[in-house]
Chains A and B, each alone.
Chain A
Amino acid sequence: MNTAEAGAVRSGLKEWIFTIDHKRVGVLYLFGSLAAFLLAGTMAMLIRTELLSPTNTITSNPTTYNVWLYFHGAAMILGFIIPSLTGFFANYYVPLMIGAKDVAFPRVNALSVWLYWVGVILALLTFVIPDPPDVMWTGYPPYSVITTGNTALYTFTVLLMGFSSIAGGVNLIATIILMRAPGMTWNKLNIFVWCTLGAFVLQLIFIPFLGNAVTLISLDKYLGTHFTTPSSGGSPLIFENIFWFYSHPAVYVMLLPGVGLIYEIVATFSRNRVFNYKGVVYGGILGSVALSGEVWAHHLYVTGNPDWLTIIITFTTLLISVPVGLLVIGLLGTLYRGSIEYRTPMLFAVGFIFLFLVGGLTGIPNAMSAIYMQLHSTYWIPGHFHYVMALSMTSAIIGGIYYVFPKLTGKMYNETLGKIGFVLLFIGFNVTFFLTMYMGVVYGMPRRFYSYEQFPEVHGIQQVTTMGSYIILLGALVVAASWIHGLIAGKRAPENPWGSRSLEWTHTQSPPPPGNFPRIPELSDDWGPYNYGKSLGATEEER
């Protein structure tokens, strides 16, 4: 390698580290979240493999298993799902979709991604330090206070991710409010942009509660305070309430942008308008935002919360079915009279519709406190929340990456590999997590169990479940292969391979240059990101 080339590589690296370009910041988020997915996914495979037999399978130390489970849960939520949706997709798409040259505060944006990366690195210390955290991602005291595991690592990882999200949120909310292109009125925003706005409003309101909760336990553990020790007047129940006061809304932080991506994909591949746009935005999205703060205590029906709270929360939680139902109706309505093409992103969107349907409907029993008497803390719960959060949102993310692939890389991926990947994942998802729910509700098989000799009925089912997770692994490998193949050997992507009408496809090349658009687009009255019936819509001098 000659010196000129070496210099180019070095300055290339420097450009990435000091970048304040929203697309590069987004890509940095993407790398971080894929790394987190890889590791947390590895943990999932270890966990499922351990569960092949009722006692010792691959580790004889329950604590090792508990650390895997801690890392899997925390890294999947804080390291993968939230950063890929509100970090990568939000950063990449929002300025492109609203017709802006960049975000409002590019340096704050760079800060947010590097805070996130430090958080990822901190989380990785889990595998290096002698007493890694074993507190599960929920970190309930007093256990998290008395354990020999390193609760501080949990606290600081969460805090860093939280600060990162706050920085990102301030920036993107300001961007959406202030930097829309001329003519980009609120009712013309892409659904994804609305979803991002909703998600970040939730983050800004609720993250401080999470920060507060995780700080309390470390103060108790290391500085000897008594916020959560009952013998000194503290209360673990307070922690549980504060924790879920954030962590339920967090479900919508993940759900909304995922649903938003699916709307983009479905509209593009159906070449159709979004059905009842205003109903989706003001009913579905804003309705979810409004309700999501009033339901936290459904995680705490059987704890010690007063009965009057349980009764109110049962009702508010059931009400969530209204906005979520509107979101689903909007999706189905967008198919109506569409012209649907089944490319890989659309397959993942179809998968999403069915997985989300199962996840949403199996949430109804969770809302009901009396039914919850059996469901609480059994496999039903991980079964249900993997359907909504893990499976639906992972489908949205993977489908979303296939969808953005040509724009992001300037290359096309291989459709056949993509489709095989989808089929494997869809089968694996359902085998694994349908059975997980089944074991929970029928036999009461508890979650977070290293061994399960007391439940002889589930031995066989556990094995089939693990086989299901190996199918997921296979699917994930095929998906990864298709991306790597696309990056190396993919054909050159045209500007708008899908024939979408949204700005990021119609008004800039693939990949978009720094500054995004040659000129800030000016949008005429009859332009809309989903206007397929009419002419391309941008004003004439624009093209």
Chain B
Amino acid sequence: MKKKIFIPAALHAAFFLAAATGHAQEVQDPREGWFELWHELLVDITVLGVVFATIALYLLIKYRRRHPDDVGTGKEVSTFAALSWVIIPGLIFLADDVYLGAKNFELWNVYRNVPKNAYVVEATGRMWSWGFKYPEGGGIETTNELRVPAGRPVEVKITSADVIHSLSLPYYKVKWDAQPGRSTHLWFYPKEPGEHVLTCVEYCGMMHSNMYGKVIVMPEKEFDKWVEENRPKGGSL
């Protein structure tokens, strides 16, 4: 089941979104998208920070008291100036907000729309381990170890057997809560083989910080071999 994001059409237009829900042919990597947007954002907030900090430093130095009985000479602003000092900065921030908001939705759409050819694994969080169930007939299961083939998008359907947990894959810049009684999902795009940490990031009691494991991304051939070797013998076929 692929969930389609519901975005009201008006919002769509307002945020200048070219319906990103459409292109399924070319799979976009959310991780790359994340880095791109993060770097842009970092520039954005650094520029704002440097501008404000410089102005603050300048004012703090320039207007230090020279004689003990000096008083400030700031004037009350006129109504026009008062309004301008609200509306103009307001509009500048607003413009930045709309811009960032639009960028955000593009990436959010990538995150929330799972590509059609994804390999689907089911994850269950419980106090205190992660169980994974693979789609191959008979059902392979692993604990604290998520094995996936390289070069193919992977969807993880997440639920919880007891309390709220959250499955985090820091390397792939993605996480989602495991809620009891609810099925949630995330997806990531493991392009290269390798091993990365996966861990719980929603407080779930005593051993919360021990609730971790690995994502093991295997070359496609090796992965197929692993599946064959671990397929339950004599099970349903």
Contact = CB atoms under 8 A, between A and B. Distances in A.
Contacts of A361: 45, 48-49
Contacts of B82: 276, 278-279
A357 B205 contact: no
30 contacts: A62-B210, A66-B205, A134-B206, A140-B164, A142-B180, A146-B162, A147-B205, A230-B181, A270-B63, A271-B70, A271-B72, A275-B77, A325-B89, A326-B89, A333-B85, A335-B56, A335-B59, A335-B60, A336-B59, A337-B72, A339-B66, A353-B56, A354-B56, A367-B100, A370-B105, A447-B201, A449-B208, A450-B209, A451-B210, A454-B212
A441 B175 CA distance: 13
A455 interface: yes
Contacts of B49: 357-358, 361
Contacts of A328: 52
Nearest to B3: A307
Interface residues of A, number: 89
B119 interface: no
Interface string B167-186: 01011011111011110100
Contact of A134 (B103, B171, B202, B205): B205
Interface stretch (B31-39, B131-139, B145-153, B223-231): B31-39
B90 to A, nearest CB: 5
A533 B33 CA distance: 54
Interface stretch (A189-197, A255-263, A373-381, A472-480): A373-381
A307 B63 contact: no
Interface in A148-206: none
A303 B101 contact: no
Nearest to B67: A339
A318 interface: yes
A272 B56 contact: no
Contact of B65 (A283, A341, A369, A371): A341
Contacts of A341: 64-65
A63 interface: yes
A160 to B, nearest CB: 24
A134 B204 CA distance: 10
B221 to A, nearest CB: 29
B21 to A, nearest CB: 11
A136 B163 CA distance: 14
A417 to B, nearest CB: 22
Given A141-B164, A361-B49, A368-B100, 18 more contacts: A140-B202, A271-B72, A302-B176, A304-B177, A318-B100, A325-B93, A326-B90, A337-B73, A340-B63, A357-B49, A357-B52, A369-B108, A370-B30, A370-B37, A370-B107, A374-B174, A377-B201, A446-B168
B37 to A, nearest CB: 6
Interface in A356-392: 357-358, 361-362, 364-365, 367-371, 373-374, 376-378
B203 interface: yes
Interface in B96-141: 96-97, 100-101, 103-105, 107-108, 110-112
A338 interface: yes
Contacts of B202: 140, 377
Contacts, number: 261
Given A357-B53, A373-B174, A448-B203, A338 B63 contact: yes
Interface stretch (A308-316, A393-401, A425-433): A308-316
B86 A276 contact: yes
A314 B111 CA distance: 15
B164 A62 contact: no
A371 B110 CA distance: 12
A66 B34 contact: no
A315 B105 CA distance: 10
A367 B45 CA distance: 13
Interface string B39-64: 00100110011001101100110011
B237 to A, nearest CB: 33
Interface in A317-343: 318-319, 321-322, 325-326, 328-329, 332-342
A276 B108 contact: no
Interface residues of B, number: 85
A353 B49 CA distance: 11
Contacts of A310: 108
Contacts of B75: 273, 337
A332 B73 CA distance: 15
Contact of B175 (A142, A319, A354, A373): A373
B204 to A, nearest CB: 6
Interface of B: 5-8, 11, 30, 33-34, 37-38, 41, 44-45, 48-49, 52-53, 55-56, 59-60, 63-66, 70-77, 81-83, 85-86, 89-90, 93-94, 96-97, 100-101, 103-105, 107-108, 110-112, 162-164, 166, 168, 170-171, 173-177, 179-182, 184, 197, 199-210, 212
B181 A443 contact: no
Given A146-B162, A335-B63, A361-B48, A303 B71 contact: no
Contacts of B104: 314, 368-371
A378 B206 CA distance: 18
Given A62-B209, A140-B203, A377-B201, A307 B112 contact: yes
A452 interface: yes
Contacts of A405: none
B72 A321 contact: no
A332 B184 contact: no
Interface string A113-156: 00000000000000000000010101011110011000000000
A433 to B, nearest CB: 15
Interface stretch (A41-49, A102-110, A231-239, A408-416): A231-239
Contacts of B56: 332, 335, 353-354, 357
A529 to B, nearest CB: 13
A337 B107 CA distance: 45
Interface string A434-460: 000000010110111111101100000
A362 B46 CA distance: 10
Q: Which 7 A-B pairs have the closest CB atoms?
A: A230-B181, A444-B170, A272-B72, A370-B107, A318-B97, A338-B72, A449-B209
B53 A321 contact: no
A66 B163 CA distance: 16
A216 interface: no
A350 B60 contact: yes
A469 B206 CA distance: 25
A142 B164 contact: yes
